Amino acid sequence: MTTISFLDAISQALREEMQRDERVFLLGEDIGAFGGAFKVTRGFLEEFGQWRVMDMPIAESGFVGMGCAAAIEGQIPVVEFQFADFIACAFDQIINFAAKVHYRWGMPCPIVFRAPCGGGVRGGPYHSESPEAWFTNVPGLKIVYPSTPYDALGLLKSAIRDPNPVIFFEHKRLYRKIRQEIPDGEILVPLGSADIKRPGHDLTIITYGAMVHDAIEAAETLGQQGYECEVLDLRSLCPLDEQSIYQSIARTHRALVVHEAHLTGGFGGELAARIAAEAFDQLDAPIARVGAADVPIPYSPPLEDAVLPNADKIVAAALRTLEY
């Protein structure tokens, strides 16, 4: 058993897959000599060489296009965006090429897009986005968003082995904050499998990414008031483990959806719609949602705290649902 950080888990997954399969290579800004903006790829250039750890200019659309071309030629590129916000610069390549190439030509496109995302680190409006909902509307993409080192390690390895394009969201706030004991041996977590991070019977809190930890904190607070809340970590948004959602609601009869992305148009709305369609008879209260306010993420710490969801806001929403 070894205790590693969330960041260590990402680095370990990349190293293990590069050692396992010489077709795996990395593209991104400052990932080589500098070791990455967050030091995920520190030492990779020396270990794997410049043709497998390739520094790119500040031209996301260009190097994503390079990666897509390499993928359809049989290579397995892992593209790093320094910040998920700038994935917008490569939107056309991801949406109109990577997501559609298999449908159009029957060709696999095994490419992974690593997207460090999320607020709470005082990064301001250009370095704090949670843009997962932009991509859940696009058939052909897989969307992964882990919350723990174990899941990050196992899901990234599975993403690299998947023949489809995968967007792998990594919340920056978790990189050095979350540590976990990991068993020895290879770890693989299948895409599309949710995980109960805390069992309960009074309310299901459905969430993913960094909000899993806020939800657990909120559930512990609610436990002191006599409520036992289940925290369901989706881990993958596409494919989505709907059965785990409905099974949890069948136990608790109440649902609260939590995500850090802006509330309007966020993935929580899709979750609420599916729950209403498939599990309405199990509900004893309206489906509740918690998300960020519909404004750009501020740089000011007090304003950012006011905009983003947190454990206190989850507790307040949970109590409204529990007392309905």
Rounded CA separation 154/165 (Å): 17
Beta bridge mates, 289: 257
CA distances from 292 to 34, 115, 145, 259, 287 (A): 33, 19, 17, 8, 17
- Helices (DSSP H) in 115-260: which residue ranges? 132-136, 149-161, 211-223, 242-252
Residue among 102, 127, 201, 253 flagged as catalytic: 127
Q: Which residue has the tokens 């967007």?
A: 167
DSSP 86-130: GGGGGHHHIIIIITTHHHHH------EEEEEE-SSSS--TTS---
Instruction: Round the CA-based radius of gyration of the chain to a whole number and report it.
Output: 19
259 is known as an active-site residue? no
Strand 203-207 relative to strand 236-238: parallel, antiparallel, unpaired?
unpaired
Q: Residue 200: what residue type?
A: G
Contact 319, 222 (CB under 8 A): yes
Residue carrying structure tokens 């000011």: 300
Residues carrying an active site annotation: 127
